[in-house]
Structure 1
Amino acid sequence: MEKFSRWRDQGTGIQPFLPPVPANADHSPIQKVFTAVLMIVKPVTGVVKLILVGILSLAFVLLEAAGLIFTPVAPLHRLYHRLISTIFIRAILILLGFFWIKNETVTLRRGRSSGAGSRAQASGRRATPSGEVIVCNWSSYIDILYLAFRFDPIFTQMYPTTLTVRQITLWEALRQAGSYPELSPPEGVETFPLLDFVKDMHKKGSGPVIIFPEGTTTNNRAILKFVPIFKDWSVPETSIEISIMALKYDYQKFAPTFTVGLDNSYRFGHLFRTCAQFYNTLSVKTLAQDESPSNSHFSAIEGLSSTPSGAAIGVVEPVEEDSLGSVMVNLMGRMTRFRKLGLNVKDKADFLDYFILRNNGISSAAKKSVVQKGASTASQGSSRPKRH
């Protein structure tokens, strides 16, 4: 849409914030009849599956609450929570149409033999240790469900203004998808530098830590410029295990990506349409661990080469303020063949401000909330806040 053209990346022409719109295509008479039948069947399917998702979610919440009795015994509580997460969240993903999720461990080194590729696949099946950082792109609340099912991890909220994080629950992480990004922490909320937080989670044995360094959801067509959350880390960072993961959705008519979720009507509508789909596709790629920037033999130049970005492919780009973040965004781009954009989370906040003003469907309460957040960000943006 031309009215949102100011948020189109200059180097690539990609607009990463608007919900994807399928291209118009001519259909045969048989296809048109089939489409008409689907228009009748899909709403019924969506209602039934949405009810079942609600029942499973309620059961999960109740069992989660019951599991609090195991809190004094941390390993037992974690085992119990992992068990119910695996069962119930996987069932919800099936109802949302994700019957099979393709997982692949990839290597970016040229000339790797098939035997090396097999070892990479084997490394992808290893147990994920507590305190490992999983760096991932972010396009939907489906990402949250998948990561919760597979890892039962620690979800974090990142604040670009202070470059700190805090732990959040699964439900808070789901709500953040598509929401207006909080650039600064609310008053009184304690946050921590990422490296300190990760090491603390490792000591507690709390599980892997999920980081979405883009800071907000996109439409899964490109990768935003990372928030410099890793600026104080080294390359390679051998004190922490780092896993780089990329999630990609394939679709024809309806995209499971969720870029705008400013009120409950948007969330409910998207969830309903996802349930109405008979089948959705998600593929997950994980970089081989011996090519991770936490490997002691990792080379920053190797990580920055052959980068699909707004610049020409094959050009080594200069290391930015956050050298580790620059390396990881490039590795992620090479894994997915997504372009790296110059836009960032602050551009997404500006986009949502404009989207709200243009869209009469957003509630006045949501508008007021965004205005308050924008004013808070402006007041804190002139000087870096103190560490919370």
Structure 2
Amino acid sequence: MAEKFSRFRDAGTGIQVFLNPVPPASSASSFSYVLLPFSLVFGALRSLLIALFAGIWALANLGAPLGRGNAFFARAILALFGFYSIREEKISLRSRGRATSASSSIVFAPGKGDIIVANSTSWTDLLYLAARFAPVFVLPIVSASSRPPSGASSSATSTPGGATTPRRGTPKKNAMSANTRIETPGAEQATTEIRDVKGFRRAGLWEMIRRTGYTPLVEGSKDAGTPLRLDQIAESAEAPVVVFPELVTSNNRGLLRFSTVFPASWRLVYRRSGALQIGAGQSNLYLLSFKHDPPSNLLSTTTLSVPTHLGPASSGSADETGWNPLRHMWSLVCTLPVPRALTVRLLDPSESPTGRQYVADPASVNVDVLDPLADACAGLVANLSRLRRTNLGWEDKEAFLALMRSRR
């Protein structure tokens, strides 16, 4: 199947970021078939317990804006899916060897109206965020029509966080931009269209889970609603706001291009000063990354790039999502109770663009990108996760899913 979708392989890094990972062919074993009856029994028992916890959680949250019991119920459900413990690391990119920042007095504790920036890989990440921060989730709304890509050129990087300098955490001049296409001689690009992010709307946890793997809502569609700027949502938010600048999920093998998600006023401040220091009442940025282990013959992949329901595209309609991602959930519970690995790396808040110690070299702020703040965050998340940045974006994911639909 990989050959059929070779044009969606990133030209600069050679990474295929959209196909759901599968175990290596060499790992297939007849032992898996022997375990099949036990797997089905485990799946049924786990599914009943998950449905019970989810039902009680839903009843407890009737009329509660923030939700009661997020930490308990979300962690319990994650444990039933095999995530008995989640490795959480606070990372300082300034420290040699990427050591945990024990000296920083700033705790990773986003408050009301702060922005959590993360890469997007799976619905399991949403459960972790719900358990850890009880945040406000937002869905991106994009324009229906495309515009010509930027005339600026940039080169792809093939190292983790190649667009940033570890000491400063800022993008270099030749860094891959958030809204610039790479044109590599002899390599076919998946698509050349660029469509703007018009804004966001708030969404509940279940809606976010159900839309895992799909492309953003389209402006004017039935479920899009009125798009709001990120700062407008943050001003009225009763909790931290989670934004995924990639806008879509990947298979956790590379980092997609970050879209223009931050307000124009924030971008202007960052472009002029090399930091986001607005003053009292500003939203602080908290950056984190998710890293999943690859699948094996005993454990299926925990990432979900391709949704498990691929009906006809309907411009972001709820009808399209169907029962997604229940089939993927079933594949996770139908395994022996072997621990699954999920690593969450939290960037030391002092090294975030809103941190007091963060000052980018003005010469390193890419003047050719629409959102230099998103570009800086992309470099930081890439360094944090050790995932290489690619020049593929959500528009490529849309074309990829359209091709998959046409072949079914």
1:303 is displaced (CA, Å) by 12
Query: CA–CA distance in 2 between the matches of 1:61 and 1:246?
Result: 28
Within 5 A, what are the aligned runs for 1:251-266?
A: 251-253=294-296, 254-261=300-307, 263=309, 264=322
Match of 2:329 among 265, 268, 271: 271
Q: Confirm or deny: 8 A CA contact 2:137 2:241 kept in the other structure.
A: yes
Between the two proteins, what is the percent identity of the paired residues? 30
1:47 is displaced (CA, Å) by 1.6
Query: CA–CA distance in 2 between the matches of 1:212 and 1:26?
Result: 33
Q: Please, what is the CA RMSD of the aligned residues? A: 2.5
Matched, 1:189 2:238: no
Structure 2: tracts of 5 or more residues without a match = 144-196, 310-321
Cα pair distance change 1:268/1:196, threshold 3 Å: closer
Kindly indicate which of the two structures has a greater share of residues assigned to helix: 1
Deviations 1:259-306 (A, max 9, x none): 1225246622211111123221111001001101012442234996xx
Aligned partner of residue 112 in structure 2, secondary structure: coil
Matched, 1:221 2:253: yes
> Residue 294 of structure 1 aligns with which residue?
354
Matched, 1:16 2:17: yes
Structure 1: tracts of 5 or more residues without a match = 72-76, 305-315, 360-388
TM-score between the two structures when normalised by the length of structure 2: 0.74
Aligned partner of residue 15 in structure 1, secondary structure: coil
Query: CA–CA distance in 2 between the matches of 1:149 and 1:209?
Result: 14
Deviations 1:145-180 (A, max 9, x none): 110111110000112334311111111111111124
Query: CA–CA distance in 2 between the matches of 1:341 and 1:184?
Result: 26
Matched, 1:334 2:317: no
Q: Of the two structures, which has the highest relative contact order with CA contacts closer than 8 Å and spacing of 6 or more?
A: 2
> Residue 350 of structure 1 aligns with which residue?
399
Q: Confirm or deny: 8 A CA contact 1:251 1:281 kept in the other structure.
A: no
Query: CA–CA distance in 1 between the matches of 2:302 and 2:137?
Result: 21
> Residue 119 of structure 1 aligns with which residue?
103
1:117 maps to a residue whose letter is: S
Query: CA–CA distance in 1 between the matches of 2:83 and 2:284?
Result: 29
1:340 is displaced (CA, Å) by 0.7
Query: CA–CA distance in 2 between the matches of 1:25 and 1:127?
Result: 43
How many matched pairs?
A: 325
Match of 1:156 among 138, 142, 148: 138
Q: Confirm or deny: 8 A CA contact 1:123 1:288 kept in the other structure.
A: yes
> Residue 284 of structure 1 aligns with which residue?
344
Matched, 1:35 2:32: yes
Aligned partner of residue 285 in structure 1, secondary structure: strand
Aligned partner of residue 247 in structure 2, secondary structure: coil
Q: Confirm or deny: 8 A CA contact 2:289 2:384 kept in the other structure.
A: yes
TM-score between the two structures when normalised by the length of structure 1: 0.77
Aligned partner of residue 244 in structure 1, secondary structure: strand
1:3 maps to a residue whose letter is: K
Aligned partner of residue 375 in structure 2, secondary structure: helix
2:239 maps to a residue whose letter is: G
